[in-house]
Amino acid sequence: MIKLLERFGLAAPLKERTRKGMPVWGTCMGMIVAARDVADLSQPTLDLIDITVRRNSFGRQIASAEVDLPIPVLGPQPFPAVFIRAPWIERAGPGVEILASRDGHGVFVRQGNVIGSSFHPELTQDDRLHAYFVALAASQKAAKSA
């Protein structure tokens, strides 16, 4: 992913716009790309969120699962989180909020205008996570206008 972003001249503008407040959501591999570090690999990233992730932490493809995941910022109803060769968060910097965890590891995080999820909310009928991101984007826009 990083190679493609670099090849097509998208990495630098994406970093610049994100640092200026553009909301970004990295899902699964996108969270890995957005992370500061990837555990045990010298893999380049965009360094958009102060986390260290570990790839394929919940197992190989055969270990994929849908888990009822409590995410308090979305309300009391658990979210049907679909994990497919998902990463987990091994380290979160001081400005990072862990919004949901599974097996003792962060799987949904936020740092300012950047969120990351280990799971695939686009594979469910539940739109609460998408609504959360839209609200984040709206609040960023309102803050810039003020």
pLDDT in tens, 6-42: 999 999 999 999 999 999 999 999 999 999 999 988 8
pLDDT range class, residue 2, cuts 50, 70, 90:
confident
Query: What is the set of domains in the chain, with CATH numbers?
Result: 2-145 (3.40.50.880)
**pLDDT value at position 43?**
84
What does the DSSP assignment read for 21-81?
T--EEEETHHHHHHEEEETT--------EEEEEETTTT-SGGG-EEEEE--GGG-SSPEEE
Quick check: is 122 catalytic?
yes
Q: Is 94 helix (H, G, I), strand (E, B) or coil?
A: coil
Per annotation, catalytic residue among 6, 16, 97, 122: 122
pLDDT of residue 62: 65
8-11 CB contacts, 8 Å cutoff, 24+ apart: 11/46
Active site residue 120: yes
Q: Which pLDDT does position 60 carry in this prediction?
A: 65
Q: Which residue of the set 28, 66, 90, 105 is catalytic?
A: 28
The whole-angstrom separation of Cα 109 and Cα 116 is 5
Residue 88: phi and psi, rounded to 5, are -130, 170
Q: What distance in Å separates the CA atoms of residue 104 and residue 111, rounded to the nearest whole number?
A: 19
Q: Kindly report the pTM of this predicted structure.
A: 0.91
For residue 1, what pLDDT is reported? 86
For residue range 65-109, list pLDDT tens digits in order.
889 999 999 999 999 999 988 899 999 999 999 999 999 999 999
**Pick the catalytic residue: 66, 90, 105, 120?**
120
pLDDT higher at 59 or 96? 96
Between 59 and 121, where is the model more confident?
Answer: 121
